Amino acid sequence: LSAPTAGRAHGAGTSQAVSVRDATPADLSVITQLFNALIPTTTIAWRDHLADAAEMQTWFVSQAVDGHPVLVAEAGGDVVGYTTWVWFRGGPRFPGYRHSRELTIHVDGRRQGVGVGRALIDALVDRGRAEGVRVLVAGVDAGHDGSIQFHRPLGFLEVARLPEAGRKFARWLALVAIQRVLADPP
């Protein structure tokens, strides 16, 4: 997947086309930066420590082995976001969930609100449809309404709230489950 998308990024007063492609190992340092960016200061990711290069390399290889796409968005020659999915609720161990995936998306804070996230989700949805995925699920911290609002116009609906499902910064956190039904598997 490397065709330009309809999204346009407007950074520093310029307009740049956003293209989405499969990630390569050369993208891992930027993907790691994007993944780590909000861990120390927010509850967007419910973990306390930053990911290091070894962890991300292991993750990247595992994604490839499992057949999960890792897509990056580029604007002006720079990687400015990424998205991927993982098995939902255990994947092959529980085959009843084989047509569902849980996504994650990370966009450079300087590029939010200008089409990068939409381009990534659109590409992930296209990939899901091509691979027979019926449902994409995302788990969002209830305190991050902006993340929930980002997904709504992209066809995601809130389907559940799980109070006190996680903990960070010495407080209990609620998880909001949102999902988008793509299509019947072939």
First to last CA, the chain: 21
Positions of the chain with pLDDT under 50: 1-14
Among 15, 178, 6, smallest CA distance to 111 is for 15
Return the structure tokens found at 30.
């930027």
Please compute, for residue 69, the number of CA atoms within 13 A of its CA located in the half-sphere on the CB side: 25
Say how far apart CA 92 and CA 101 lie, in whole Å.
12
Contact yes or no for 171/135 (Cβ under 8 A): no
Please compute, for residue 20, the number of CA atoms within 13 A of its CA located in the half-sphere on the CB side: 27
Contact yes or no for 128/184 (Cβ under 8 A): no
Task: Return the pLDDT at 95.
Answer: 94
Q: Kindly state the helix (H) or strand (E) to which residue 127 belongs, with its residue range.
A: helix 116-130
Average model confidence (pLDDT) across the chain:
90
pLDDT digits (tens, 9 = 90+) for 40-88: 999 999 999 999 999 999 999 999 999 999 999 999 999 999 999 999 9
Q: With both helix axes pointing from N to C terminus, report the angle between 53-65 and 28-36 in degrees, rounded to the nearest 10.
A: 110
